[in-house]
Chains A and B, each alone.
Chain A
Amino acid sequence: MIQVQNLTRFYGRTPAIQEVSFEVEKGEILGFLGPNAAGKTTTMRILTCYLPATSGSAKVAGFDVFNQSMEVRKRIGYLPEQPPVYMDMTVKSYLNFVAKIKGMDSRDRKNRVNDVMEKTAIVDVQDSVIRKLSKGYKQRVGLAQALVHNPDVLVLDEPTVGLDPNQIKEVRGLIKSLAGNHTIILSTHILTEVELTCERAVIIDHGKVIAQDTIANMTQRKRGASRLVLQVDGPTSQVRDKLAGVHGVKKVNTDGAMHYDIECDSGRDARRELAQAVVQNGWGLLELRAKDFTLEEVFLNLTKEDGGAKS
């Protein structure tokens, strides 16, 4: 559905993205993961025909984003980071306007606008002025706007940013329910978001794709260097030696107080043995948990493991 090949974009002399290539199959949700200023928005803007690329090519639904821009635009729904809403319009009239400029017939328009309002749960605010809506509602109006012309492809730039946890859950659920009928690219800097909603992810950093794989494979890599955090009440050096002796433990770091940071062998859960070791020695086990990997750590792992190579 989407083919991106060697896409490069310079702002003046600074490259925003370099040689970005990936593909998205029909009906798939692709997570586009990266820290801020990694080039996510630039890539999305090129895909949605907002920006031309410096070099490389991108095709959406078989149409080139540069040469057949109008065809692409008809088939794509885009939610930028800041929802592109007119503050002084009501929700309904805004969606009507969007449907109109997306080239929808007046016959289909009314039904379709009602449909997307139902889908995004904004029916009860349809006559409110957008300025007065909360951030969450504005985001949903933004989503409705991207959906209104029933596009084949949806491009969502950080759709959950600035929402409260309940709203995040709702929006994620909504996005998941859209897969199949729509091909979706979703950008985010939150790892769990990708795990929860996407089947596949592209990780981008400093304008370059550093990994692209299915989520299953990525989490495997994550497990490859699992880490645990312990808080033990006991004599520091003894505790450290004892913990280091547990089977499967590679390395123990401590801050000298009661905190221990443990790196384990890949694919081995050493928690049971660790707990046993502590309790047998009569020390107090105050905390034991697996440490979540932050996005940066995944980056580090990825770049360390295979020197920035793609899958």
Chain B
Amino acid sequence: MRNLLAILERELKSYFLSPVAYVVLGFFLVATGLFYYNIINWFDRMSMQSMMMAQQYRQMPQPINVNMMAIRPLFHNIAIIGLFLVPGITMRLFAEEKRQGTMELLATSPLSNWQITLGKFAAALVFYLVMLLATGVFVGLLFFFGNPEVMPILTGYLGLLLVGGCFISLGLLFSAFTENQIIAFVGAFAVNLAILSLGWLANFVGPNLAAFFSSLSPIEHFDDFAKGIVDTKHLIYYISFMFGAIFLTYVTVESGRWRGAR
């Protein structure tokens, strides 16, 4: 555990020492901010319309649910943006170690490959959590002007963390494949996109296959979390997804050693 924490700490430090972290974080906030602005704009218009309708028919205006109409779409956008940006967080994790030759240091220190792999995964997850916390500003503003419910927001963030964890575990795997960060980025990105499009594919196939395809996509499983439902079925999906990818990463690191690759 101490070794794992040592790896985690070093990775986190190096995130905040390198420009990549700030670029990713900055871009993430700009993108989510734009979507947030759009959503609030739209929400505003809806409220206005509802007021006008109410005046026309001389009724009380229909209250619009902030959770459903503003926060849920925001969370969906955050999940999708994460899909594009998470490979940027994970690409350096193993690739850079191999390029710099520091993998040789880790591999000859009394550390297990599990400790190395999990330490790196945890570091990326913590960084992603920082990204998510930064979006708390957007949600906080809604508390200032409206009265959203707290619990669905919390489950939404839990869901986001799980979706992000899946992307991170995949990114980690691709980083372990190569010593080139660009390849690690593009590979993880392409697979993320493929997984996302499995969800879209569900719209074009028959109902039986549709259920199958949509249950493969991490984004589809996120829906219930955004609604405020924590279903064990989704939890199991996410945890086995992450475990699978982390296990493959471990195997890749281990087998690289056997083959004598750097």
Contacts and interface: CB of A to CB of B under 8 A. Distances in A.
B108 A49 contact: yes
A51 B14 contact: no
B110 A48 contact: no
A101 to B, nearest CB: 5
A50 B108 contact: yes
Contact of B104 (A16, A42, A50, A70): A50
Contacts of B6: 97, 100-101
A80 interface: yes
Contacts of A283: none
B13 A93 contact: yes
Given A76-B108, A101-B7, A87 B258 contact: no
A35 interface: no
B108 A73 contact: yes
Given A50-B107, A52-B258, A86 B101 contact: no
Nearest to A94: B10
Contacts of A98: 105, 109
Contacts of B260: 9, 11, 16, 42, 45, 51
Interface residues of A, number: 32
Contact of B110 (A51, A82, A87, A101): A101
Contact of B257 (A51, A88, A101): A51
Interface string A36-50: 000000100100111
A145 B102 CA distance: 11
A251 B101 CA distance: 50
B107 A88 contact: no
Interface in A1-25: 9, 11, 16
Contacts of B209: none
A49 B258 CA distance: 11
Given A88-B17, A101-B7, 18 more contacts: A42-B260, A45-B104, A50-B107, A51-B260, A74-B110, A84-B105, A85-B102, A86-B10, A86-B100, A89-B13, A93-B13, A97-B6, A100-B2, A100-B6, A101-B6, A101-B109, A101-B110, A102-B109
